[in-house]
Structures are given as C-alpha cells and as structure tokens.
Structure 1
C-alpha cells in the first residue's frame, strides 16, 4: 500500500503565515520561499490570493520566481470568482496547481454551511468543473475536504464527495485533519478507506493539524496506507497548535528507510532563520532543532554515549547533528544525576588523566557541591579546577 514516491508539500507561506501575529511582508515571504527552494521541498503553497490585493501580488511574484518543475499551489474557496483570481495569481509558475477547499463533515455542513449534502456535492462539482475549464487539461487541481478528520458521522457521504471531485476534474485529493480530535489510527484508518475507494484515480494527500500533539505521527502513518503527499510547515507553524512539522516528518520517514528529496543539511539553519522571522523561539526540547536534544545528564545515558560517540548509530541519538546542518555535537554535563563516566569523559576531553580513585573522589565532591547548592550543574571548568586541586594535593 505504501507509495513509491512521497511528496513533501510545504504550506508555510499560506497556513503558517496566516496564523502569525504579524504576517510576513513580501520581502520576508520571498526569503522564506527561497529557504524552501534550498530545502528542496517537492511543492510550495504560496498563499491565498483572493483574500486581499497584497496577497494576490505576493502570489504572483513567488509564482514567477519558482524553479522549473516545482509545483506552486494557491488556495481558493469553492467560489468561481475566487478560483479565477487564484488562477490569475499563479498561472505564470512553470508548474501551477489549483487548490480548492470545501467542508465535507456532517458538523460543518449542518452548523456552518447550513445546506443539504446534495447542495455540497453540487458546489464541489461546479467549482472544480469551472477550475478545470479555465486551467486546461494539463494542470493539477487539488481538492481539500475541510474537516475530513471530523467526518466519521457521514463518512459514506464524504467518500461520495471526493469521487464527485475526481469526476469533475480533481487529480489530488487532500484529506485534512483540520482540527485534531482523535487518536492517529482513527484518522489513518479513514485515509485507508478513502485510498481503497479512490484507488489510482487521484493522488492522496494529507494535511494534519497538531491540536493534540500528534500531527507528525498521523501524517507519517498515513504514508503506510497509501498517502503520496504530506503537507507540512516550517517550525510546525500554523493555526492554533500548528501544522505537521516538516523537520520531524522528514526525519521520521528517513529513519524508516524512505527516500525523500529534502536537503536535510538545510534543516537547522532554516529553522533558526524562521524563528528569527517570526519571533517565535525554538523550545530547547523541540525535536530535531532544540538546543538540548544532544545533551546528556543521566549517568546511565552518559555511559552509553561515551561508548558509541563516533558510531553512526548512537546509544541515545537518533541522527548526527551535522546531518541536519547543526554545528554542535553531543554534550555531557554533570549534575547530581550524573555518573563517574561524565567526569572521566569531560576531563579526558581536556587532556587530564585522573586515576579511578581520583575520579571517585571528584565524583563524591562534585555531587556534594551540586546537592548543597540547590542541585545545580557543575561546569566543566569547575571539574577541571577540582581535578587540578586533587592532583596538586597528591
């Protein structure tokens, strides 16, 4: 069921930007676009051109800037005027893609649209047919069934909605977890059912939000039931808790043997620059890009780290820092949770040799200082000074 090719479609410039407290200027969007090109994502959604004139102009600029063969998408609601505006904004791209969204869940149809299911099908059919009539036969049209992840109550209708979209001319079916409400496998099983219905009539795409913190897991597992495209965002930007994180998704798939086109070495510098451009700090425990993810303080972990430090697979390391473009390395620090190996390793790095008895003495001394002073970390410089006092005394 797993597809031969997995496409990474980035939505930072649309979904990520629309959720920022201060949306980016056109110059900032150009910089982000260039970062995405350097990362070599498979496709880029550049915005929502019918929302305002500035957005329209920006989408035009970015579309013209796009490399040859790079799919450039823009979002439109299922409205003919908006579809026409969207096409005008992106048609100068070498590989433009029309993206149309309309709700398909029972809740949204009853409480937001307040129309019948028959009218929903007609809206989907009319909007996609119109889009196909203006873009021609060779252009990709992606249809997103908004709130797909919440469509459990009317799932038979949802299948019909997607088949209607395909019949009208859509060749990519996007399945959004617009609001994450359920565990990953509930959504993944829904994806599998849609894949079984759609078969090879259209590409299956996934777009998940992170309300419960499981967007990456949901997206990655969806690949293994037939999803060929995953929509992601830099630094996990997006509405509320954000969209599926590009870095986590790409690394997870890579670790499971999947071949992606991503330039992995550009991950860390891109993440740092996006943090600067948004003013949103990177948490020290953030996977892949956090400051603390190559730090080791537990004695048991430190022992395993020192024994596998230069191996491709570390005892407590998923990937090497340099693989994602980081200039740092695995670090060992001494706290009252650390072991003898931490002191031995830190001193050895400074070219200081101490006997086993000396290491044991320094261990006891450092533990005592840490515990006495509110369990603080003992710095490498302090350990060196303590070792020199010990050696002098000896």
Structure 2
C-alpha cells in the first residue's frame, strides 16, 4: 500500500523569524478549561453528573491545568454535581466560580473545590446601569469577597468582567485592589468579544508593564462574537498572559469562547509551545459534541468533519506527490483522526488510484479513467426543493435536541403557579421571545 511521505523540511516558516516572536511570550503556558461552566451556559445545554464527570476525566487525562466544573450558586442540583466531581481524584485544579457575594463564595467553598474565580463587572456601564454602584463601593465589594475566600484557604482569582470596555486606569485600580487582597490570578474578560488582536495585545502589554501586575499570573477569557476569541487570546499570550481560558469546540455564551482544540494546536504548531497531550483531542471534541447535542460546523478548525477531507484531484495529487504539508497544516494523526479522500465532480485520477489501492483492487489506467468518467458524470446534486427539505429536517432535529426546557413544559409550570390558562397564541409568542 502506498504511503504518504512527509517533506516538512522543505518548507519555509515565517513564524520562526525572530521579528515575529515576541520576547514576552511565557516559557510555560497552562490551559484553563471552561467547557463545564461557560460551555454549559450554551442555551439549551444541560449536562448530567455522569456526562460532566466523563468530560472532566478526559480533560484531566490530556493535561488541562484548571477545570471549571460548574457554578454552585445556580441551583442545589448544580452545587451537588460540583461537589461530587470535586470528590474525584484529579491532577488538575478543580474550580467553581462565584460572584463577589459571600453567599456565592460559601456555595463554592462547600463543594470542596481547589480554586474560586470571583467575577465582578468593571465597566462604567455595568457599574452604573446594572449594579448601581460607584467605583469606591465596588472596590470594597471586590476586596471583601476576595479576602473572605483567601481567608478560607482556597486559591482565589479575580475575573474583571467587561474588562475590554473598562477605562485603563479604572481596570488597573480593580486589579491592584484584587492583588492587594490576595488573588492568585487576574483574568481579563472580553465579555462581549469586541476586542481586536492588536488592541488586546496592547492592553496586556500595558497592564504587565505595571510592576504589581507583572508579578501576578495573567489569564485571558475571550468570547467569539466576531470570530476573534482564539486570535485575541493568542495576542494576550504573546504579551505575557499564560493561563488562557478555553472551551472544547468553542462552545459557550452567544457565539462561544476560544476553542480548546484550536488553541492547543496553534500554540504547538505555530508557537512551538506544548500544552496538552494531543492524541485524544479529536476523541474529546466528539465526546463533548455528543453530550452537548450540538453538531459543530463541518468547517470547524482542527476537529470539523471537512478539516482533513479532500475531493479536489489537484489537492490529492499534491498530497501524494509532495506529502500532506502541501495542503494540510499538520498531520491529522497527531490528534487521533485520519484524512479522507472523497469522490465528486472535482475528483481526479489520483483519487481513484488511492482509494482502489486502499481497497486492494488492481485496475489498469484505462479502467481508472472509466471509473473517473462515471463518477464525474453522475448527477448527485440535490434539487432546490430537496435541499430545502433536508435543511428543514435538519433544523427540526437540532431544535428537538437543543432545547433543554421546552415551551410546553415552561408554560405548564406558569399555568400551575398563576392559575391562568395560556392560549396557543401565547405559545407562539413565547417561541418568538426565546
């Protein structure tokens, strides 16, 4: 059977140029995973204890440093799940967040976790319109909460929510207060995903030029509203942040968070920074996809269905002649998956020859061309009507798995509590609202 031979030594790499390698990049980078907390906040997702434990164990196995396993203050059932997971033996630190409220911190402490990231909004918009607090009062709240957690002997971090829309001096004051109160890590949250990579780079650079901040551990928690979560996190890492927050498959609020698989592969392939064991990245991605009930895009980097699939005869020929590096950024086998060559109207003779060779079938050049002709001649296109029917069916199936709490269930509870009968039209309005 013909093998695909690597020719990686022939490639030029601009990433290796000294000018493109900032000297602030940390020697060691640690992965903080938020799949079971921020990831589960994806609307419609509701994981069981067994599902969370399966995911946590696999995250731990591949070397994640911190695993946020849930938000205890949400409900008694969530608190119980977090507590049960914390009883297991992990190499990773088990974290559970809390608002800057003593009751929230107590909920997390009662779960016997290792680490509590305390979050508090820092932008003027949030302080004035959401919390109705002034800056001095807010600083006191943050300081009191952090000191309380630290006094209870737990690793404590401070998450500056909406940090990316907070004036620099104000943000600096929040971080100074947090550090003076005893936090282990400061976490810069781009809560609505509005930062550009250059802006994030400069923000982290300016923060870490401060002597107090420089001595602390810096984390980035980026959202993906403009598709820049991974880029912004990498920009922060280039300026000294060493605890990136990620979610498997990029799940999370709204458009999601920085993707674990993209982050890990980018750090290793583009920056030569090893973080996790890669061999089970694909397995992890598929497990989380199954448990979340949300199919990832076929074009999702690293683990998407099409990431290592080739139909074009030109591409297949290039891979067979020059090695996988001609078309692929890395060998898919390093993350536990395989490449695939597919048949279609863009296929060439090399596609046929490769597949026949894999099947152990011998065919002469004339037979190969006949097979190729028939493949290219076959009309496998869907009609517009058929395509629409398939998409409607797909959307219907997604909706069935996506809603953790149906409109009917919710309105039934409302009827029982309010003693008011709800019409079908209200059901339609409910669906429009949500």
Superposition TM-score tier, normalisation by shorter sequence = 0.7 to 0.9
Alpha-carbon distance in 1 for matches of 2:64, 2:230: 17
User: Is 1:82–2:100 an aligned residue pair?
Assistant: no
8 A Cα contact 1:73 1:90, kept in partner: no
State the 1:85 CA deviation. 2.5
Alignment of 1:346-365 (within 5 A): 346-349=355-358, 350-355=360-365
SS at match of 2:46: coil
8 A Cα contact 2:264 2:275, kept in partner: no
User: Is 1:289–2:298 an aligned residue pair?
Assistant: no
SS at match of 1:223: helix
State the 1:84 CA deviation. 2.4
Total equivalences in the alignment:
358
Alignment match, 2:329: 318
User: Is 1:338–2:356 an aligned residue pair?
Assistant: no
Runs of 4+ residues over 6 Å off in structure 1: none
RMSD over aligned CA atoms reads 2.3
SS at match of 2:209: helix
Alignment of 1:28-47 (within 5 A): 28-47=51-70
8 A Cα contact 1:42 1:261, kept in partner: no
State the 1:126 CA deviation. 1.8
User: Is 1:147–2:159 an aligned residue pair?
Assistant: no
1:144-199 Cα offsets, whole Å, 9 max, x none, are: 00011222xx2211111111110111120001111112322222321222222244
Alpha-carbon distance in 2 for matches of 1:332, 1:19: 34
State the 1:373 CA deviation. 6.0
8 A Cα contact 1:148 1:176, kept in partner: yes
Alignment match, 1:382: none
8 A Cα contact 1:295 1:330, kept in partner: yes
SS at match of 1:44: strand
Greater alpha carbon shift after TM alignment, 172-181 vs 44-53: 44-53
Q: Which runs of 5+ in 1 are unaligned?
A: 377-394
8 A Cα contact 2:157 2:187, kept in partner: yes
Alignment of 1:239-318 (within 5 A): 239-309=253-323, 314-318=325-329
Alignment match, 1:185: 198
State the 1:322 CA deviation. 2.0
Decide whether aligned partners of structure 1 residues 375 and 333 sit closer, same or farther in structure 2, where only a CA change above 3 A counts. farther
State the 1:348 CA deviation. 4.5
State the 1:125 CA deviation. 1.6
8 A Cα contact 1:98 1:141, kept in partner: yes
Alpha-carbon distance in 2 for matches of 1:77, 1:71: 19
SS at match of 1:35: helix
State the 1:8 CA deviation. 0.2
Alpha-carbon distance in 2 for matches of 1:31, 1:362: 46
User: Is 1:13–2:36 an aligned residue pair?
Assistant: yes
8 A Cα contact 1:336 1:375, kept in partner: no
State the 1:318 CA deviation. 1.9
Normalised to the residue count of structure 1, the TM-score between the two structures is 0.84
8 A Cα contact 2:278 2:335, kept in partner: yes
Alignment match, 1:156: 169
Alignment of 1:151-230 (within 5 A): 151=166, 154-197=167-210, 198-230=212-244
**Partner residue of 1:67 out of 86, 90, 105:** 90
Alpha-carbon distance in 1 for matches of 2:291, 2:26: 35
Alpha-carbon distance in 1 for matches of 2:45, 2:371: 52
8 A Cα contact 2:39 2:253, kept in partner: yes
Decide whether aligned partners of structure 1 residues 307 and 132 sit closer, same or farther in structure 2, where only a CA change above 3 A counts. same
State the 1:45 CA deviation. 1.0
State the 1:364 CA deviation. 5.5
Alpha-carbon distance in 1 for matches of 2:260, 2:325: 23
User: Is 1:50–2:59 an aligned residue pair?
Assistant: no
8 A Cα contact 1:166 1:201, kept in partner: no
Decide whether aligned partners of structure 1 residues 363 and 65 sit closer, same or farther in structure 2, where only a CA change above 3 A counts. closer
Alignment match, 1:113: 131
SS at match of 2:326: coil
Alpha-carbon distance in 2 for matches of 1:6, 1:107: 33
State the 1:36 CA deviation. 1.5
Alignment match, 1:380: none
Alpha-carbon distance in 1 for matches of 2:26, 2:45: 38
